Structure 1
Amino acid sequence: MGQNHCQGTAGSATTRDGRELFYMECAGPDGGGPATVVFESGLAASRSYWALVQPAVARSARAVVYDRSGLGRSAPDPERRDLARLADDLGDLLDHLGPGPFVLVGHSWGGLIARRAAAARPERIAGLVLVDPTDEACDLLFDRSVRRLEKVRYRAALVLAKLRLFGFLYRAMTDKLPLDAAADMRAEAFTVQVVRTMGAQQATVEADLTALRDDPPRIGDIPVTVISSTQRTPGMSATALEAITAAHVHRAQQFPRGRHVHARRSDHDVPTNEPAVIIDEVERVLRSL
């Protein structure tokens, strides 16, 4: 991986039980800013997913992307991949990166990981940007039909990965990325191992959501932005989109400095469809520090 990669230079962080997490970081000429911005991806997404956002944020702050265990260039984790473990891994990465402060940016399931990690050490968190996040306030996510659909999609993805066809479903996404990040994603993001990692994380979704609904993470008085997509992802009903957006509005209202924003031209894939809205909200948080 060359020194001129759009996502910066490579590094490795060790978790509390000895696993290595691959990460990349970049920063502007002054070497940083008021905080380090760390990006957390959705269930099966690697660091490359942020390649349209991270370099732009790096003009204002140190910006770090990483691969969770079993994704990208990080080795698989033999243990149960529930939300607590995912958040602990993010916390271990933050320990490695320094004392902070940190702004956490989480997409989809990564929004919950960011919230959980922030609650574990709120004193070092300067802000959150939650990008079309999964949210326990959305009752639709507890419907049995959602679990059945997840299983169907998992089986289909596994077959396609074994046939080396899975990546063809995401050509429109990879084609938007810088050439080096796109090459990384094509090589790393659509393997059998990645699909199995996704399945391992999906196995605990309902239990994790139930635990969050009963005891939401508490992160204190920091700026929090919740970004909602406004376009339907293929297969999503208008009713589902309304329910998800309502949960996002509710979540933003739970924070003293909460803010709700619409991504007007995007479906769920906001980081690749409308990166500017994320960049603007991260910079808004940085300016407030």
Structure 2
Amino acid sequence: MRDVPGRLEAVNGRSVYVEESGNGEDWVVFESGAGAGRTCWDPVLPLLPDTARLVAYDRAGRPRTEPVAGALSIDQMADDLVAMTELVVPRPFVLVAHSMGGLVARRAAERLGSRLRGLLLVDPTPETSPMYDDWDARVAKADRMMAVMQVLTHVRALRRLFTGNLRAGYSPDTCQAIVDEDFTPAGTAQTRKELQAVADGIRDVRRRPPAPPACPVIVLAAARPVRRKPHEIAFVASAQEHDRLYVQSLPDARFEAVDSAHLMQAERPQVIAASVRELLARAEAHEAE
């Protein structure tokens, strides 16, 4: 998978790294979650080679893309997503987003309009979740741990200490790319900025939720915690319920609980690929009416 050629594109005044693969007239764009770049989708893309043209990219500040000037924000990430697709994707497309990327994708959907044919949200945790009630404290705790991690990742031999859960779902070459790009001092610093962007922006998202997408939507919710501890089981159950409530608020949406932990693209890539094909088929049926 890591032999996919990439290129730099000028997006909103900075160079953004983009990879394209696949074949067909349809287009699918992938938005990663916090702390991840285009490589997180590697298990999914080979399942869709003849389904569509597939676009994965690195957000501003990730190792192969230039950073933004000043603080990072959800709206800025959404602006970049919209601008990248206007430059790279010549036709209406399906958008796939994981975790924090769901907030970015839903803000972007407000501006994409009829260019968005379908939206697939992979374990997105909408803003209604009580998880965000104490998000500042959660981010502060995570930031303290990542500050230590950022120092340790200066030592290349220590980087793999932080990637144990990746090895089961990713090929060795993808694991190596993730270690070399995301589990570095620069990659860790960017992850801290992305989490802080959510902390800074989630109150506004709660006050002013993104408009409902005017396209078919599928939400895939992780049904299994990483560890079977009571608080993690309760967290997953709560996240599922809020994903389900979000789907019920939409005119054309489907909810599915998936036997997977949060990193679904590594554990259940075939479910994501099947949902992409479903959205493309639904979009085609709508357009034929």
Same fold (TM over 0.5): yes
Contact 1:7 1:51 in 2 (8 A): no
Change (3 A) 1:251 1:156: farther
Cα RMSD between the aligned structures? 1.9
| Offset, 1:176 | 3.2
Matches of residues 15-30 of structure 1 in structure 2 within 5 Å?
15-16=11-12, 18-28=13-23
Using the TM superposition, give the Cα deviation of residue 152 of structure 1 relative to its aligned residue in structure 2, in angstroms. Answer: 3.0
The TM-score with structure 1 as length reference comes to: 0.89
After TM superposition, give the deviation of residue 219 of structure 1 in Å.
4.3
The answer to whether the aligner puts 1:67 opposite 2:45 as a matched pair is no
- Structure with a larger share of its residues in helix: 2
Specify the code of the residue in structure 2 equivalent to 1:104.
L
Structure 1 residue runs of 5 or longer lacking an equivalent are none
Query: Separation in 2 of the partners of 1:68 and 1:153?
Result: 23
Q: 1:31-57: CA deviations, max 9, x gaps?
A: x23x31111111110111110002212
**Structure 2: distance between partners of 1:26 and 1:204:** 30
1:189 Cα offset (Å): 1.6
Which deviates more from structure 2 when the two are superposed, residues 216-225 or residues 130-139? Answer: 216-225
- Match of 1:158? 150
Distance 2:182 2:56 in 1: 15
Taking structure 1 as reference, are residues 170 and 115 closer, same or farther at Cα in structure 2, changes over 3 Å only?
Answer: same
Partner of 2:280: 286
CA contact (8 A) 2:18 2:57 kept: yes
Residue 262 of structure 1 corresponds to 257
Cα distance in 2 between the residues matched to 1:269 and 1:275: 10
SS, match of residue 153 in structure 2: helix
Q: Which residue of 1 aligns with 2:287?
A: none
Amino-acid identity (%): 28
Contact kept, 8 Å, 1:40 with 1:105, in 2: the verdict is: yes
Are the equivalent residues in 1 in contact too, given 2:63–2:186 (CA < 8 A)? no
Q: Write the letter of the residue equivalent to 1:15.
A: V
Point out where structure 2 has 5 or more consecutive residues left out of the alignment.
285-289
Indicate conservation of the 8 Å contact 2:240/2:257, yes or no.
no
Structure 1 residues 99-137: Cα deviation after superposition (integer angstroms, max 9, x where no partner):
421111110101111111111122210011100113201
Shift of 1:180: 3.5
What residue number does 1:146 align with?
138
SS in structure 2 opposite 1:237? helix
Higher mean C-alpha displacement, 99-108 vs 233-242:
233-242
Moved more, 191-200 or 177-186: 177-186
Give the aligned residue type for 1:273: E
Q: CA deviation at 1:145?
A: 4.0
Query: Given that residues 30 and 97 in structure 2 are in contact (C-alpha distance below 8 angstroms), is that contact kept between their aligned partners in structure 1?
Result: yes
2:255 partner amino acid? H
Give the Cα separation in 2 of the matches to 1:221 and 1:25.
26
Asked whether 1:237 is paired with 2:229, we answer no
Residue 109 of structure 2: SS of its match in structure 1?
helix
> CA separation in 2, counterparts of 1:13 and 1:113?
20
Aligned pairs for 1:113-132 (under 5 A) are: 113-132=104-123
**Alignment match, 1:14:** 10
Structure 2 residue matching 1:200: 3-state secondary structure: helix
Inter-partner Cα distance in structure 2 for 1:240 and 1:227: 16
Amino acid paired to 2:150: L
